[in-house]
Amino acid sequence: MMDEYSIDHQRRLKRIQQKMEEWNLAVYLGSRLRTLSYVGDVFCPWRSFIIIPQEGEPIIYTFIIDAERVRDESWLDDVRGFGPLGGGHQLDVLTDAITDCLTGGKAKIGVELGLSNYLPEGYLTTEEYNYLTKKLPYAEFINSIDIIDEISMFKESGEINRFRKASEIVDLGHKAVLEGLEIGMTETEIAGLADYAMRKAGSEWAWSFTGGNEIASGYRTSYPMGACTPATRRPIYAGEPLMVDLHAMYKLALGDHAHNYLISPVSRTQKMHAKYFLETITRVLDLYAPGMTPAEIADNIMDWADLRGFAQYLVPGFEHGIGLMGDEWRIGMNDGPLPYWTNPDHIYKENMMLICAMQYMAPEDHVGFRYEGPIVITKKGCEVLPKTPLEVTVLS
């Protein structure tokens, strides 16, 4: 049934297969989580593979205990399990499936090779690659990540609507935190408070591998250059900052939004930092538009903050990539000066998405703030999907 969240899977597949033809690939072996999500439109939490033939529909292979669930939820009919069984080992089934796509064993096979700071990226492992090249000696293996990365860079309307919905859910999580927050609650309790509200609203998962919902209180908000704070059992105290970074998933689209609090009594220093933070994030969001690049935005903000005397409080980068589950961190193609990292000269275009991210930390004052929010590049600027206000909320 088509709805506002629908994705044209066949069109998506056709574009991939057209690219495969341009690359002269007989088959594409996808192993990255982002590729499974993008093509299969299904959550594959276990090691999984997708075999995309030059013509016809792909086959997903996943761990046998999850194969039927994946088949039930994917638009693809052909989902098969692998496991510790004779003939069912993942390398055996992959070899067979790839062989079925080759003519006389001689052909080019697209594979996904690389490295990442993002743990569950899912590139082919050395063991997998060595086995396949040994079993298919006449085939040529080509790193083909550019095919998926290029096509998935631009989001279609159904996909953007999913992200809007995920952000709506995260806004509800923030509302629940604001309503339920009490002095003495632990960070893990706050994470759970938000998660319950988001689950009630339909979130499938607090998807981030950084511990789900990230909560930081007190000095933990201000780790130098730190922007990763899995919730701990630390209670929150009066007079402290609190950072609430929530993650929700809706049909594989990812909500990711951080909101900040100061719990009274609030010091003048804390107020000053909150003012700098608000001014900076407002300026950052104003800068996102077609034609801008990560480097231009960073240079602009850091020069501006330097003139005002608080550049030292900022992580000098203001974004990370985002896409359907498994697509996080690198923005755009792997074409930058540092392999597999975001190209600082990546040019933003309409319908690209990213997480606008800003980390402000003043460790000497035990205070820090974070902003994260998915944005869509529009014709003239950007659409910020979460609606929770940017201002630091003061709680009395």
CB of 109 to another protein, least distance (A): 20
Map the footprint of another protein across residues 46-65, applying CB under 8 A.
Answer: 64
CB of 101 to another protein, least distance (A): 16
CB of 83 to another protein, least distance (A): 6
* Cβ atoms < 10 Å from Cβ of 137: 7
Number of residues interacting with another protein: please give it, by CB under 8 A: 16
CB of 87 to another protein, least distance (A): 3
Strand partners, 212: none
Lay out the site mask for another protein across 223-262 (x = CB under 8 A, - = otherwise).
----------------------------------------
The CA–CA distances, whole Å, from 10 to 171, 250, 267 equal 33, 21, 57
CB of 67 to another protein, least distance (A): 5
Map the footprint of another protein across residues 64-123, applying CB under 8 A.
Answer: 64, 67-68, 80-89, 92-93, 96
> In which residue are the tokens 């990763």 written?
228
Q: Give the integer Cα–Cα distance in Å for 20 and 333.
A: 17
Measure the N-to-C terminal CA separation of the chain; round to a whole number of Å. 48
CB of 93 to another protein, least distance (A): 8
Report the residue number, 97 or 166, with the smaller CB distance to another protein.
97
Report the residue number, 92 or 383, with the smaller CB distance to another protein.
92
CB of 131 to another protein, least distance (A): 15
Q: Give the integer Cα–Cα distance in Å for 361 and 221.
A: 7
Report the residue number, 55 or 77, with the smaller CB distance to another protein.
77
Report the residue number, 64 or 394, with the smaller CB distance to another protein.
64
Tell me the backbone φ, ψ of residue 100, rounded to 5 degrees: -60, -25
Closest CA to 150 of 54, 38, 249, 75: 38
Is there binding between residue 40 and another protein (CB under 8 A)?
Answer: no
Question: Position 320: which residue type?
Answer: H
CB 191 within 8 A of CB 150: no
Lay out the site mask for another protein across 142-161 (x = CB under 8 A, - = otherwise).
--------------------
How many residues are there in the chain?
Answer: 396
Q: What is the separation of C-alpha 97 from the centre of its chain, rounded to a whole number of angstroms?
A: 30
DSSP state of 350: T
Residues that bind another protein (CB under 8 A): 64, 67-68, 80-89, 92-93, 96
